[in-house]
Amino acid sequence: MKLDPIRRRLLELVAHRDPPTDLKKASLACGKNHAYLHQFVHRGTPRRLPEDVRWALAAHLGVDESVLRDGTPPPPQPSGARQVEAVTTRRPRVYSRILDPDHEPGVVAVPEVRVTAAAGGGAVAEYEALGDSWYFPVDWLRHELRARAADLKIISIDGDSMEPVLAAGDKVLIDTSRTAPSPPGIFVLHDGLGLVAKQVEYVPNTDPPTLLIKSANPRYQDYERTVDEVTIAGRVIWFARRL
């Protein structure tokens, strides 16, 4: 089929997005099935993008939603460094302010919390709600992160021990159902001294079972703790950073 200006513009935005995306990823980011935008572009179904999809797609592509609105020309863009700044400093919270999970079944709220984990193996991590929620497409959580919204929390990184992988102020999404360090990964845990985000892996053939806890920053030394000495709050599965 012959593409109208909106469909051509969508393909251009997808092709030039940084970081890269495609129609499948963009569809999932809108809370739709993976073929939704392919059908919209190439088969004309739906004929127009619903408003909720348009807002979610604009957030994913880092553009104003009016760019994807029928009959509306794209707004003038600043040039040079200002244009880069306008795009790269856009944060996921723009998306969260637009979508209301009570009226948008395609999105779900994930609370931002402060973890107050007790020391000692088997202790249960407790969370203090900070009053903010981040809204994510349900299908994206399910298919891309393979996680359930009920198991997820957002917390802030403090300190530089995981730089350059994670920096102070980064927001990380932790899956509280994944507390076993196998396979190895980045976990939020209480190591007996305080709450940290670290690379954690199980040391084979140890008795008692032992974990190797590592920093990404070479200034910090690796160390070991027995399983009984730590409380793992969850595995880090996603992060956001302001540029």
Say what the pLDDT of residue 105 is: 54
Say what the pLDDT of residue 1 is: 60
Say what the pLDDT of residue 97 is: 39
Q: What percent of the chain has pLDDT over 70?
A: 80
Say what the pLDDT of residue 86 is: 33
Residues of the chain predicted below pLDDT 70: 1, 71-105, 116-126
Say what the pLDDT of residue 124 is: 57
SS3 at position 195: strand
Q: What is the pTM of this model?
A: 0.56
In the structure encoding, which two tokens stand for residue 23, read together? 């129609």
- In 3D, which of 72, 7, 12, 9 has the Cα closest to residue 43? 7
Say what the pLDDT of residue 71 is: 57
Q: What are phi and psi of 70, to 5 degrees?
A: -55, 130
In the structure encoding, which two tokens stand for residue 242, read together? 């302001």
130-164 in b/e form (b: 16+ CB < 10 A) is eeebbbbbbbbbeeeeebebeebbbbebeeebbbe
Say what the pLDDT of residue 7 is: 87
Domains and CATH numbers, the chain: 5-90 (1.10.260), 107-240 (2.10.109.10)
